[in-house]
Amino acid sequence: MLTLLLILIPIVAGALTFLSGERFAKQVALIGGLAELGLAIFVWTKFDPNLSFQYSFKYSWLPSAGISFGAGVDGISLVLVLLTAFLSPLIILSAFDRNYKNSATFYSLILFMEGALIGVFTATDAFLFYLFFEAALIPVYFLAAVWGGENRAKVTFKFFIYTIFGSLFMFVALVYLYYQTPGTHSSEITAFYNLQLDTQQQGFIFWAFFIAFAIKMPLFPFHTWQPDTYTESPTQATMLLSGIMLKMGVYGLIRMLIPIVPLGMESYGLVAIILSVIGIIYGSIIAIQQRDMKRLIAYSSFAHVGLMAAGVFSVSTNGLQGALIQMLAHGINVVGLFFAIDIIYARTKTRYLDQLGGISQTSPHFSVYFMILLLGSVALPLTNGFVGEFLLLSSVFHYNAWLGAIAGLTIILGSVYMLRLFQKSMFGVKSNLVEGFTDLTMSERAVLLPLIIMVFWIGIYPNTFLEISGPAVSHLLELVGKNQ
């Protein structure tokens, strides 16, 4: 029942937020987000990593078709549940100093999306997974379409078409898998794991899943919706997209693609890794050329997710563990960086690097927070980004030394575009737009401080989280070995 509560609390809180009116919406939303975080931490403290799915529930949804409403938590899903529950109240709090029209609707959409994301990460039925996978698209679409920038209509339409197109491939694959199950058929994900499909069948399923998840992350060459959507969306929607939503695609690779089609992985895994590595280099080079800070971080996120995917496609312990802890680290860093850019924009009304400079002279505390998040993003040792990046590069190198060497260029390229971002905005001659720049407010500190704590916690003691997912990852790799 605890898993059901994890899904329901943000949905109920979203409804209450919508009904609370403009005056109390943000307070009700924050309380709902904190309640979800409290429950997620409670589940974590009671969780046994050595067991399979825990706190599960299962209700008949379409009993005649063998489809159920079922969910549970294992070590892989718990990592992402904790990430979602941790970031959501901070994303809500980040909007407290901003004025949004129809704020009750705005905050309720954030909570509805949180509920859908938790549903994706805990679903044990394939069609329920698909339902939540699609449901998560709706709130962020309206957040971007209603509160986005000048080009929001065009950008959100492109985003919607891309993601729906990809999801259709996944739906076709799920229906095909459903009809391959024996007897009265079943849509439980574990039933799909037990299927004995030939190489041709697995090849078809591989590409259907790959396209769906590659668009959601996104991976090269399915990424063209991402920079515009991240740039035009309001900051809180961008945080949701980059900090949590793209993790649905990586999670889908781990939960659905690898264990269901191991023969497909053998046939096409190299192609997938090559595309991922191309994305790492391409995204990094484009990031170096950006003037708009928000667009720079968007391409940075695209490069980071390419490395996560490459690690997953290596089908190794280091690759999967690295992807999971890097999802945590990336979510924390990218939410903090987008919030830092929002702070700069709120005070200067610009995001362009050539119009900024000298911010550190008037806001030393903000400069320190910004630098710590930036160092986490470039994977400095003892920060959160180092652990995952080391494991991921190790896994790719062991898969193919040449690909590992090329992927390793992310260390150099990432430092170039991130340090350029910091230098041009924080140092140098003070721009006229920066003259009245004030340091952090209390609510802004309340958002950034927990993120900074997590940067060092994960970097110094990563076993806190690696031990959660370790047994589940080992079990999944054993399953892959049996199905090959």
Q: Is the pLDDT of residue 324 over 90?
A: yes
pLDDT category of residue 42 using cuts at 50, 70 and 90: very high
Per-residue pLDDT, 115: 93
3-state secondary structure of 144: helix
Res. 482: pLDDT tops 80:
no
The yes-or-no verdict on residue 483 having pLDDT over 70 is no
State whether residue 186 is helix, strand or coil.
Answer: coil
Between residues 481 and 335, the one the model is more confident about: 335
Report yes or no: 190 and 66 within 8 Å, Cβ to Cβ.
no
Amino acid 448: pLDDT: 92
Is residue 141's pLDDT more than 80?
Answer: yes
For residue 61, pLDDT beyond 80: no
Q: Output the furthest CA–CA distance in the chain (Å, rounded).
A: 73
| pLDDT bucket at 356, cuts 50 / 70 / 90 | confident
> Where residue 49 falls among pLDDT bands split at 50, 70, 90?
confident
Residue 358 three-state SS: coil
Query: Rounded to an integer, what distance in angstroms lies between the CA atom of residue 214 and that of residue 222?
Result: 6
Would you state the pLDDT for residue 263?
87
Here the tokens at position 36 are 């979800």
Query: Mean pLDDT throughout 46-54?
Result: 86
pLDDT score for 112: 92
CA angle 256, 406, 417 (to 5 degrees): 95
pLDDT at residue 246, as a whole number: 87
Mean pLDDT calculated for residue range 250-263: 90
Mean pLDDT over 37-44 rounds to 93
Least confident stretch, 142-146, 310-314, 461-465 = 142-146
Q: With contact defined as beta carbons under 8 Å apart, do 77 and 54 qualify? A: no
pLDDT in tens, 166-222: 888 888 999 888 888 887 777 888 888 888 888 888 888 999 999 989 888 888 887
Amino acid identity, position 365? H
Return left, alpha or beta for 323; rule: phi > 0 is left, psi -120 to 50 is alpha, else beta: alpha
Q: Is 47 left (phi over 0), alpha (psi -120 to 50) or beta?
A: beta
Question: How far apart are the C-alpha atoms of 160 and 141, rounded to whole Å?
Answer: 7
Return the C-alpha torsion angle 136, 142, 143, 144, nearest 10. Answer: 100
- 345 contacts 422 by C-beta, under 8 angstroms: no
Distance CA 138, CA 465 (A): 30
Give residue 147's pLDDT: 81
Cα-only R_g, the chain: 21
Kindly state the average pLDDT of the residues 284-301. Answer: 88
Q: Which of 112-121, 404-413, 432-441 has the lowest mean pLDDT?
A: 432-441
Least confident of 214-228, 248-262, 342-356, 415-429: 214-228
Question: CB under 8 Å to 65, separation ≥6 — which residues?
Answer: 185, 187
Q: What is the pLDDT of residue 481?
A: 67
Residue 362 has pLDDT above 70, yes or no: yes
Structure tokens at 203: 């090849």
Distance separating alpha carbons of residues 52 and 77, to the nearest angstrom: 11
Q: How far apart are CA 440 and CA 199, in angstroms?
A: 57
Closest to 374 in 3D by CA, of 323, 425, 311: 425
Between CA 303 and CA 310 the distance in angstroms is: 11
| Global pTM value | 0.92
Q: Is there a contact between 266 and 278 (Cβ–Cβ < 8 Å)?
A: no
Delimit the domains of the chain by residue range: 2-483
Predicted pLDDT of residue 312: 92
Q: pLDDT tens across 426-441, in order?
A: 887 777 777 777 878 8
Please give the Cα distance from 232 to 140 (Å, whole number). 12
Q: Give pLDDT, residue 444.
A: 87
Render pLDDT for 370-379 as a digit per residue (tens, 0 to 9). Answer: 999 999 998 8
Specify the amino acid at residue 61.
W
Q: How far apart are CA 424 and CA 61, in angstroms?
A: 55
